């Protein structure tokens, strides 16, 4: 879990650098500071289980086993990318690992996850679907419709809200009447749990309990992981609606530094072992970037591939 969190952090910081160097087109939404939620939640799944992601989905893809070279290639718009360079930052999908895709639509993955869970129930394949969404999505109609039908039909789905305190530039407290997203679970007769989204083990245990419940046929759960994004909503966000003091306060709760200290303190890993992991990850990231840079551009002749049947 430490390795995966460090991988996500390094990936996102490199994406930030590449974007500033005009090597990534469109926009992108980075999850620096939120690594524990993606890693802890996905660690609670079996390999064949599925996820749906969000516009801030790089961490989900990496945590579910996504390959760094293909991810960088996708962001750089190359033919070797996961979606052959057509999807970009907000639309990476990796069906092989059970990642049904990121989504540029706020809350867009919620009904998809619910549908995937319905398919699993009908096929009796024993799979659980994990649905990531942000706090901004909890006020969308599809959130309420999906939770209602999932509870009625006892679908094997776990809804995980990554509450990073802001939907675009609006504070959660200014947009949502309920004090917590998890409070809304009661309306749909399912368990709702609040967890420290910067504690990877706390996230793991909360999601594992919900996944086991879903797999037993007892229906969905709603988990709210309270976390924080260090950077702006997207690359076009001037980030003027938050104070520097607030950002610095959350940085003190960095999920990676916290877990690193815990692993050393409890004797699970030594400083040397963790440094070795960090160096390996940093090397793999640079190799993946080189792969992406050297990959071919999509052919103009293939421009309609995947657009028309």
Q: Is the pLDDT of residue 308 over 80?
A: no
Confidence of residue 235 (pLDDT cuts 50, 70, 90): confident
Per-residue confidence at 211, pLDDT binned at 50, 70, 90?
Answer: very high
Q: Is the pLDDT of residue 261 over 80?
A: yes
Question: pLDDT confidence of 279, banded at 50, 70, 90?
Answer: very high
pTM (2 d.p.): 0.96
Q: What is the pLDDT of residue 214?
A: 98
State the Cα angle at 109 between 107 and 110, rounded to 5°: 70
- The predicted pLDDT at position 265 comes to 98
Q: Which residue has the tokens 């094997």?
A: 156
Range list of H helices, the chain: 2-20, 35-43, 58-63, 68-75, 109-123, 141-152, 172-175, 200-215, 244-251, 255-265, 271-293
Q: Give the least confident one: 61-65, 78-82, 124-128, 164-168.
A: 164-168
Contacts of 116 (CB under 8 A, 6+ apart): 50, 52, 100, 129, 157
The angle formed by the CA atoms of residues 152, 131 and 210, to the nearest 5 degrees, is 65
Q: 183 exposed, middle or buried (CB, 10 Å; 0-12, 13-18, 19+)?
A: middle
pLDDT at 309 over 80: no
2 is catalytic: no
Examine the pLDDT at 247 and tell me if it is beyond 80.
yes
How far apart CA 253 and CA 261 sit, in angstroms, is 12
Lowest mean pLDDT among 168-172, 212-216, 236-240: 236-240
Residue 217's contacts (CB-CB under 8 Å, 6 or more residues apart) are 154, 156
Residue holding tokens 């992601």? 53
Residue 109: predicted pLDDT:
97
Q: How confident is the model at residue 202 (pLDDT cuts 50, 70, 90)?
A: very high
Tell me which of 233, 259, 260, 291 is the catalytic residue. Answer: 233
pLDDT value of residue 40: 98
* pLDDT on residue 303: 85
- Under DSSP, the state recorded for 186 is G
Tell me what the pLDDT averaged over the chain comes to. 95
Pairing of strands 129-134, 50-52: parallel
**Given the residues 29, 60, 184, 229, the one annotated as active site:** 229
* pLDDT per residue as tens digits for the range 94-137: 999 999 999 999 999 999 999 999 999 999 999 999 999 999 99
d(Cα 11, Cα 108) in Å, to the nearest integer? Answer: 24
Per-residue model confidence (pLDDT) at position 304: 86
H helix and E strand count, the chain: 11, 7
* Residue 305 pLDDT: 84
**52 and 129 Cβ atoms separated by less than 8 Å:** yes
Average pLDDT rounded to a whole number, residues 184-190: 98
Residue 55 annotated in active site: no
Averaged pLDDT, 231-252: 90
Range 22-36 average pLDDT:
93
pLDDT digits (tens, 9 = 90+) for 141-158: 999 999 999 999 999 999
Kindly name the residue from 3, 17, 241, 283 that is annotated as catalytic.
241
């Amino acid at each position: 879990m430490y390795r995966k969190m460090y991988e996500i952090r390094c990936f996102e910081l490199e994406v930030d650098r590449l974007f500033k160097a005009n090597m990534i087109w469109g926009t992108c939404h980075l999850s620096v500071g939120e690594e524990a939620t993606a890693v802890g939640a996905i660690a609670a799944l079996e390999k064949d289980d599925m996820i749906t992601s969000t516009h801030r989905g790089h961490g989900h893809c990496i945590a579910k086993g996504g390959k760094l070279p293909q991810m960088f290639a996708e962001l750089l718009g190359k033919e070797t990318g996961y979606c052959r360079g057509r999807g970009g930052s907000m639309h990476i999908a990796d069906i092989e690992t059970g990642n049904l895709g990121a989504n540029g639509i706020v809350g867009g993955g919620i009904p998809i996850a619910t549908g995937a869970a319905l398919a699993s129930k009908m096929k009796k394949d024993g799979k659980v679907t994990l649905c990531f969404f942000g706090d901004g999505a909890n006020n969308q109609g599809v959130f309420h419709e999906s939770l209602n039908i999932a509870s009625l039909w006892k679908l094997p789905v776990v809804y995980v809200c990554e509450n990073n305190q802001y939907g675009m530039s609006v504070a959660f407290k200014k947009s949502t009447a309920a004090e917590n997203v998890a409070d809304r679970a009661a309306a749909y007769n399912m368990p709702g749990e609040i967890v420290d989204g910067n504690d990877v083990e706390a996230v793991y245990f909360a999601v594992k309990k919900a996944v086991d419940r879903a797999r037993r046929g007892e229906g969905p759960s709603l988990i709210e992981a309270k976390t924080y994004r260090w950077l702006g909503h997207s690359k076009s966000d001037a980030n003027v609606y938050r104070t520097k003091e607030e950002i610095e306060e959350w940085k003190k709760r960095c999920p990676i530094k916290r877990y690193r200290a815990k692993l050393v303190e409890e004797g699970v890993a030594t400083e040397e072992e963790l440094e070795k992991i960090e160096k390996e990850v940093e090397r793999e990231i640079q190799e993946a970037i080189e792969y992406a840079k050297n990959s071919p551009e999509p052919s103009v002749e293939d421009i309609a591939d995947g657009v028309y049947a």
